[in-house]
Amino acid sequence: MSIADPARVSLLSLTPGGQELAERIQALWPVKCYCAEKYLKPGFTAFSGSFAATLAEAFARDEAIIVIGACGIVVRTLAPLVQDKLHDPAVLVMDEKGQHVISLLSGHIGGANELACQLAARVGATPVITTATDVNQICAIDVLVKQLGATMVDFREAVKVLNQALVSGEKVGIYFDPRTIAWLDLDLNRLDLRGLTQLKQLSEAGDCDHVLLVSMQQDLGEWSALPNAYHIVPQQLVVGMGCRRDLEPSLMAQIFAELLHERNWHPLALTQFASIDVKHDEPAILQLAQQYYASLSFFSAAQLNDSGWSGPESEFVRKTVGVGAVSQPSAWIISQGCLVGDTVKQQGMTFTFGVKKACYTW
């Protein structure tokens, strides 16, 4: 199995026959198996009081859930817990004879459809997939966005409109910004683009009902001006940073926003900031990462010295924090050596950009 970590997958069986199937699955894929206490045997954990309580715990904790039992009981138990396709785990239901694997919930983003197909192949069952895009053998936009490690403005509504357009036979074009392809080493052959029309020239967009623009850039010129365009933004931009102590957070936010605008980076492309560990409590850095909903990593002086980055260093910085540069080696580490553009030094701040090339998430 490739799309779910076995440590975050629970399998719940309701009958002795279901336990036999669970043992077959566990031999192929070491998931954690649960059953009623009266059926407890080695390799299984007893329900936490009840099937419903155990299923609720797994729903809040796990990446995927497999239930060997009837769909009805699973639906009734989960109904009060379901949030939306962006947050719910994958839920699969199997009959105890192992004839069918039903993708019940979170088929696309949660990965239930793919997991159902993989599990069915392992146990010799038939996968049951009901999502319209899969039935019509066309791509799902939410899955494509996931494959790209990307996001979209108004993601939920955009996906709803675009998936409906595809299954309704409307023409949906897709344009990949050449700069983004180069930065990320995108292999378009690895993407599920079924049903989409790849566009090379703006003139080709004229007869499309909708156009997808895949780019880490904010402004794509005439492409951005299309009235029916949707922007898919790979979240692969990383930033190494350093600053003087007690820098005003509003100043850093202003300078950084201006820098993004100057370099035409889309704010949604940001995924990670990094700095030296002595800055772990620097308000300006903490607030900037929070503002852009990005993760934040800190490295020791030894780690930065051993990063593999080579370039100009500052003796003042070395005397202050034990390493001759902060932003460049920080960005080098989190981008695995894929830096983009020159380092910017301004008003006591230093920023170095990089990209994560390994953006595929399947």
Q: Domain residues of the chain, as ranges? A: 6-130, 141-234, 237-355
Architecture of domain 237-355: 2-Layer Sandwich (3.30)
**Tens digit of each residue's pLDDT, the chain (362 residues):** 444 566 689 999 999 999 999 999 999 888 999 999 999 999 999 999 999 999 999 999 999 999 999 999 999 999 998 887 778 899 999 999 999 999 988 877 788 888 888 898 989 999 888 776 666 678 889 889 988 999 998 888 998 899 899 989 999 999 999 999 999 999 999 898 999 999 999 999 989 999 999 999 999 999 999 989 999 999 999 999 999 999 999 999 999 999 999 999 999 999 999 999 999 999 999 999 999 999 999 999 999 999 999 888 888 888 888 888 999 999 999 999 999 999 999 999 999 999 998 544 43
Alpha-helical (H) ranges within the chain are 16-28, 51-61, 71-78, 112-123, 132-135, 141-147, 155-167, 178-184, 249-263, 283-291, 301-305, 315-321, 327-335
With a CB cutoff of 8 Å and minimum separation 6, the contacts of 127 are 100, 101, 103, 113, 116, 117, 119, 120
On the CB side of 348, CA atoms within 13 Å amount to: 11
Residue 291 to residue 334: CA distance in whole angstroms: 19
6-130: which CATH number, 3.10.20.740, 3.40.50.11220, 3.40.50.970, 2.60.40.790?
Answer: 3.40.50.11220
Q: Which residues partner with 101 through β-bridges?
A: 94, 127
Residue 360: what pLDDT?
A: 44
φ/ψ bin of 158: left (φ > 0), alpha (ψ from -120 to 50), beta (otherwise): alpha
Rg (Cα) of the chain, in Å, rounded? Answer: 24
**pTM exceeding 0.85:** no
Residue 265 to residue 359: CA distance in whole angstroms: 17
Secondary element (H or E) of residue 240: strand 237-243
CA torsion sign, 314 to 317 to 323 to 325?
negative
Indicate the DSSP class of residue 303: H
Q: Which amino acid is at 76?
A: R
Burial of 350 (0-12, 13-18, 19+ CB in 10 A): buried
Cα angle 9-12-18, degrees, rounded to a multiple of 5: 125
